[in-house]
């Protein structure tokens, strides 16, 4: 009880919506900003104690961008890209850390709900291998999502290598296609997320399209 008082007397976001068991999961954290983050998402996402425990186990707060943490502390406006985890944790059943893009896509689709939660809130699944026609050729978008909170389509490309410049060009073409052929006038411009095994900050530093984001994946349960 002494620990409870010492920790939560400094915490302005305590709520009677959460149970005592929720707070017991957070009581040993020393960082108040981290505690506040888990309290807020528990309330906003209606997390059970078990679900909260899982997020803590996966180090969700630690995988947020530092800029996002600063925005949360300052109560600044956030956008959907602020909550894309890095790395994104993907459950793995193949017992190897060397997988193909097809295998990676299979793992994601088998637990698409968890994958979308790794990206943040408000995502809904449209399709995988979404077929588009550019000129006389058909192309296939790995994953097409929609975010109903921010009102835009999200194009996702999956790569099992380091980020390369051609991946940026590829996803930009797909995003522009969606904007010109699928997006409605009341919807915002499409964003793109390239998920790679390894990032390349130099490539992203020369990417002029601020709608494109890169994050990495991490396979959980690899033997």
Read off the DSSP letter of residue 83: G
Residues 129, 190, single domain; the answer is yes
Q: Reply yes or no on whether the pLDDT at 116 is more than 90.
A: yes
What is the DSSP pairing of strand 212-220 with strand 88-91?
parallel
Indicate the number of domains in the chain. 2
Q: List, for residues 101-112, the tens digit of each pLDDT value.
A: 999 999 999 999
187 and 99 in a common domain: yes
Q: pLDDT of 4-60, one tens digit each? A: 766 666 666 566 788 889 988 998 898 989 999 999 999 988 899 999 999 999 999
> Are residues 109 and 192 both part of a single domain?
yes
Average pLDDT in the 145-161 region? Answer: 97
Is 155 within 8 Å of 144 (Cβ atoms)?
Answer: yes
- Where residue 152 sits, what CATH number does that domain have? 3.40.1350.10
Identify whether the C-beta of residue 123 lies closer than 8 Å to the C-beta of residue 154.
yes
By residue range, what is the domain housing residue 208?
A: 80-220
Helix ranges, the chain (H) = 2-8, 20-26, 32-44, 49-57, 66-74, 101-110, 112-119, 165-181, 201-205
Instruction: Say yes or no: 107 and 207 in one domain.
Output: yes
Together in a domain, 122 and 87: yes
What is the chain's mean pLDDT, rounded? 91
The per-residue pLDDT for 17 is: 82
Domain annotation covers residue 71: no
pLDDT at 3 over 90: no
Q: Give the mean model confidence (pLDDT) for residues 113-119.
A: 93
Is residue 214 included in any domain, yes or no?
Answer: yes
pLDDT band at 81 (very low <50, low <70, confident <90, very high): confident
Question: Is 0.95 topped by the overall pTM?
Answer: no
Do residues 93 and 49 both lie within one domain? no
The whole-number pLDDT of residue 108 equals 97
Same domain? 128 vs 180: yes
Least confident of 83-92, 101-110, 158-167, 214-223: 214-223
Considering the domain architecture, whether residues 209 and 182 belong to the same structural domain is answered as yes
Q: Quick one: pLDDT band at residue 160, thresholds 50, 70, 90?
A: very high
Q: For the residues 60-84, what does the mean pLDDT come to?
A: 91
In a domain, residue 87? The reply is yes
Is the domain of 153 the same as that of 102? yes
Domain membership flag for residue 208: yes
Is the pLDDT at 1 greater than 90, yes or no? no
Looking at the domain assignment, is residue 69 inside a domain?
A: no
Residue ending a domain, choose from 31, 62, 93: 62
Residues 105 and 191 in one domain: yes
For residue 207, tell me if it sits in a domain: yes
Q: Are residues 107 and 199 part of one domain?
A: yes
Could you tell me if 118 and 56 lie in one domain?
A: no
């Amino acid at each position: 009880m002494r620990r409870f008082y010492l920790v939560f007397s400094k915490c302005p976001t305590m709520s009677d919506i959460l149970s005592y068991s929720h707070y017991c999961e957070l009581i040993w954290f020393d960082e108040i900003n981290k505690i506040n983050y888990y309290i807020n998402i528990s309330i906003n996402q209606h997390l059970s104690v078990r679900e909260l425990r899982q997020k803590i186990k996966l180090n969700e707060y630690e995988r947020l961008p530092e800029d996002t943490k600063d925005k949360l502390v300052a109560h600044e406006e956030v956008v959907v890209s602020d909550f894309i985890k890095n790395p994104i944790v993907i459950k793995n059943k193949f017992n190897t850390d060397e997988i193909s893009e097809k295998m990676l896509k299979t793992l994601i689709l088998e637990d698409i709900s968890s994958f979308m939660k790794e990206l943040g809130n408000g995502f809904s699944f449209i399709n995988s291998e979404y077929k588009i026609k550019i000129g006389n050729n058909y192309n296939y978008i790995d994953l097409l999502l929609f975010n109903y909170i921010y009102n835009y389509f999200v194009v996702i490309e999956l790569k099992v290598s380091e980020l390369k410049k051609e991946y940026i060009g590829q996803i930009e073409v797909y995003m522009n296609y969606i904007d010109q052929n699928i997006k409605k006038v009341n919807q915002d411009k499409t964003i793109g997320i390239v998920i790679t095994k390894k990032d390349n900050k130099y490539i992203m530093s020369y990417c002029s399209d601020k709608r494109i984001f890169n994050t990495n994946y991490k396979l959980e349960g690899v033997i």
